[in-house]
Amino acid sequence: MNSLNLTHDPKARSWLASANGSDFPIQNLPYGRCRRLGRQEAWRCCVAIGDQVLDLTLLATQSAWLSVPGVNTALAAAAVQAASRDLRDLMRMGTDAWHALRVAMFLALREDASSDVQQQLKTALLAQSEAEIGMPVQVGEYTDFYTSLHHARNVGMAIGNGGQVAPNFFWMPIAYHGRASSLGVQQRLHRPMGQAIAPGQEQPTYGPSQRLDYELEMAIYIGQDNDWGSPVAMDRAESHIFGMGLLNDWSARDIQFWEMAPLGPFQGKNFATSLSPWIVTMEALAPFRLPFSRADEHPQPLPYLDGQDLRSHGGLDIGLSVSLQTAKMRELGSPAQEISKTNFKYQHWCVSQMVVQHTAGGCNLHAGDVLGTGTVSGPTAPEAGAIIELAKAGKEPITLGNGEQRSFLLDGDAIVLRGVCEREGHVRIGFGECVGEVLPAETN
């Protein structure tokens, strides 16, 4: 999955004009689920291409598009049939099936595809503007990691502990089990209620969170299962990863910090987690791999978290950004304003290491499970992945272009996460957007 092949050809263009130059060219082909807008139909697995979606349930009823040179016809046919039932069925088939279907769709969408093939695919296309886009897959379990050294230090400085980081951070990817039931796309979430304690007080109060925050993260989607009691070895870890998306781990900081003594996050995190609607496959990300290295002043990974493949291409060059749109901006028709920009390459731990650590004790992961990467922050102040870092825990509010200020999020604020991969000599691909809007608390 880390080697380049014909599906990464930078010269390839699609006969679907909207695909060329978009977030979703034929070199991307991310998976999701959709149905026709305004209809209470069953969700169908689909692939984003330009401003359209390719309905795999409809595509599975066709066959001519599979019978072209370069396609493993039998495996691609089995793969599209699996996807038409449930994306998790395709995920469980493994990397060979994922590749076979990708090649088949790429060739059928390429500009030199025959008129018969083009016609078959046109019957399975639906404009994104006419589609309701849902959760990309039914998620069974959700785990959130904590893998950015810059984020850990920034938050420590903001809350007054001098930027100290727990010693175990340098030896393993740390995580907690989250709540899958509150994952969603295009969320409009209510400000959470909970307990918090004000500085200098001895007794907490109960009420709406006053320190609501976002966290810029990425989602890792598990593809193949591992058996209970059977850890995943480093050299097999990425064959268990289907792809990645964007994730916003909404955080009520006042509730979170009060309850996290001594256990991990609970109500400060479980009220909402927003996902982008598309899963960009690991094969699509192959042109944007980076070597993994660890600074000399930090401990090197233990052998079970290390390996030659990790060292040569374990990193990922993914540009990420956060934009904020206030209620006032929305009323005036003003777009969201970018407030930070960073890159996934700065994470202290790689995606394969997160999978290995999750399964090291024998935990069994399943197709469709989501692992959050933890907040992605870079080495400079404008690269912070949460407002608690940007605004120094509320002590230095950020000022927006229209003069509004934010220490933490207010009701009516909307957060938009974006991700793109760009490298000279390769076609730019995108992750789309992860969007969430804050509504007032429900106090009943």
Catalytic site residues? 151
CB 117 within 8 A of CB 64: yes
CB 101 within 8 A of CB 71: no
CB 128 within 8 A of CB 363: no
CB 376 within 8 A of CB 217: yes
DSSP string, 87-124: HHHHHHH-HHHHHHHHHHHHHHHBTTS-HHHHHHHHTT
Alpha-carbon gap, residue 441 to 16, rounded angstroms:
44
Closest CA to 54 of 13, 4, 6, 105: 105
- State phi, psi for 291 to the nearest 5 degrees: -65, 150
Q: Which amino acid, residue 370?
A: V
Here the tokens at position 441 are 């608390």
- State phi, psi for 185 to the nearest 5 degrees: -110, 155
- State phi, psi for 100 to the nearest 5 degrees: -60, -45
Label residues 275-314 b or e (16+ Cβ within 10 Å = b): bbbbbbbbbbbbbbbbebeeeeeeeebeeebbbeebeebb
Helices (H), 38-183: 56-59, 73-85, 87-93, 95-109, 115-122, 149-158
DSSP state of 3: S
Here the tokens at position 350 are 């790689």
Closest CA to 172 of 24, 360, 419: 360
Q: What is the β-pairing status of strands 174-177 and 142-146? A: antiparallel
Alpha-carbon gap, residue 310 to 171, rounded angstroms:
16
Q: For residue 351, is it left (φ>0), alpha (ψ between -120 and 50) or beta?
A: alpha
* Locus of tokens 């880390």: 2
* Contact partners, residue 105, CB within 8 Å, separation at least 6: 26, 29, 47, 54
